A = this chain, B = another copy of it.
Amino acid sequence: MNVLQRPTLHDVAARAGVSIATVSRVLNGTGIIRPATEAKVREAIRQLGFRPNRMGRDLRMGQSRSIGVLLPTLANPIFADSVAGIQEAARNAGWTVLITSSDYDTGHEQTAVEGLLSERVAGLIITVTNADTSQVLNSLDNELVPYVLFHNETGNPARSCVAVDNARAGYDAAQTLISHGHQRLGMVAGQFAASDRSRSRHAGFTVAVRAAGLPQPDLIEIDFNSDIACGALRAAFLTPLRPTGIFCSNDLLALRTIAGLRELGLAVPYDVSVIGMDGINVGQLIAPSLASIVQPSREMGRQAFAHLLARIAGDAEPEQIRVPHSYRPGQSLSAAKLQE
């Protein structure tokens, strides 16, 4: 045994005076072994500091007790928290997690998934920009690897997903604004192209506004990468009939929006009320605190993993899992001023 190499089953077997099969059985608790033998083996393992080589095991098993995760970015706490949930569940189950991010780039999505598949992950949890048109998903359907859409909704019964009801969330956001007396509503969204979730939320938002008999809400699209006080915001708010209540398609965007409004000389919630979505933690630390439609991100991660594991084991059919969202009040949303 080369001292510079990690010990293998053979080394352990040699030292314990048994065969590698026996060592393997001790390690995995399979088969029946005499207590005396097991003791010898365990002692050898301890002495050598042996740790099974996953490469050998995985190759033999044809599977890698690891899953791949593809998210747009870790910079948004909603995804970082989701990952924490996935990892927690995976750790408990003895699985490892490979994380990649696409930076909202469809090209990266494809290459990232390719990379994960090369690693022979046993399954995937992925968030794509657009679940209905995604090329990646189509190619994945031809693979043998089960996957769970995450934060994306799908109507396709052949595909699993874990997500909130985004349209309903948008609807609830509108209702909340309306119930606070707001009549002129608007929605700020990231580039629609980059998120089907944004579109669903907008759709639900619009439905609620119309149902209340209010005028069609403004839609203000903001480039995630642009400056804070962008032109779109200026155009929408420097008018006498500006919205008094706006829904931002996510909390990070809401923070940007509030900062932008501030630059335009508009105060939140005095001049404009803002409700965000996601329920990120910093929203509660700032002033004004951010009202938000909360997603149970960590729990979503746990559920996504649990379901994926069931799919991998063949214990489950594809399923569309809807998790409940909730409303968290905040100072950024107040009652509309009557005189307006």
**Chain A residues near B (Cβ < 8 Å):** 4, 6, 49, 51-56, 58-59, 64, 66, 73-75, 77, 80-81, 83-84, 87, 91, 96-101, 114-115, 117-120, 142, 144, 228, 252, 255-256, 258-259, 262, 281-282, 284-287
Contacts A259-B286, A285-B256: A96 and B119 contacting too (C-beta < 8 A)?
A: yes
Residues on B with C-beta less than 8 A from A98 are: 96-98
A-B contact pairs, 28 of them (CB 8 A): A4-B144, A49-B142, A53-B118, A53-B120, A54-B119, A55-B55, A55-B64, A55-B120, A66-B119, A74-B74, A74-B84, A75-B84, A80-B80, A84-B101, A91-B100, A91-B115, A96-B119, A97-B98, A97-B99, A99-B99, A228-B285, A256-B285, A258-B287, A259-B284, A259-B285, A262-B287, A282-B282, A286-B287
Compute how far the CA of A49 lies from the CA of B118 in the bound complex, rounded to whole angstroms.
Answer: 12
**Judging by beta carbons under 8 Å apart, are A75 and B80 in contact?**
yes
Query: Which residues of chain B have C-beta atoms less than 8 A from A258's C-beta?
Result: 285, 287
Q: Is the CB of A51 within 8 A of B84?
A: no
Q: A55-B58, A114-B51, A144-B4 are in contact. Are A75 and B77 (CB under 8 A)?
A: yes
CA distance A115 to B258 in the complex (A): 43
Inside 8 A of A59's CB, which chain B residues have their CB?
Answer: 53, 55-56, 59
CB-CB under 8 A for A75 and B119, given A100-B87, A144-B6, A287-B259: no
Q: Which residues of the partner chain B approach A101 to less than 8 Å between Cβ atoms? A: 84, 87
Instruction: Report copies per complex.
Output: 2
Report chain B residues within 8 Å CB of A120.
53-55
Most chain B beta carbons < 10 A, residue from A81, A117, A118: A118
Q: Is the CB of A80 within 8 A of B74?
A: yes
Specify which of A49, A75, A284 lies most central, judged by the most chain B CB atoms within 10 Å of its CB. A75
Checking B74, B100, B117, B285 against A51 with a beta-carbon cut-off of 8 angstroms, the contacting residue is B117
With a cutoff of 8 Å between Cβ atoms, the chain B residues found around residue A80 in the complex are 74-75, 80
Please report the C-alpha to C-alpha distance between residue A287 and residue B120 in the assembled complex, in whole angstroms.
47
- Shortest C-beta distance, A216 to chain B (Å), equals 29
List B contacts of A99 (CB < 8 A): 83, 87, 97, 99
Q: Give every chain B residue within 8 A of A64 (Cβ-Cβ).
A: 55
Give CA–CA (A301, B287) in the complex, Å: 32
Q: Report the bound CA distance from A12 to B226 in whole Å.
A: 48
- In the complex where A120-B53, A282-B255, A287-B259 touch, is A96 in contact with B115 (Cβ < 8 A)? yes
List the B residue with the shortest CB-CB distance to A114.
B51
Which chain B residues border A256 with CB–CB below 8 Å? 285
Known: A54-B120, A59-B59, A74-B84. 4 other contacts (CB 8 A): A73-B84, A75-B80, A75-B281, A286-B287
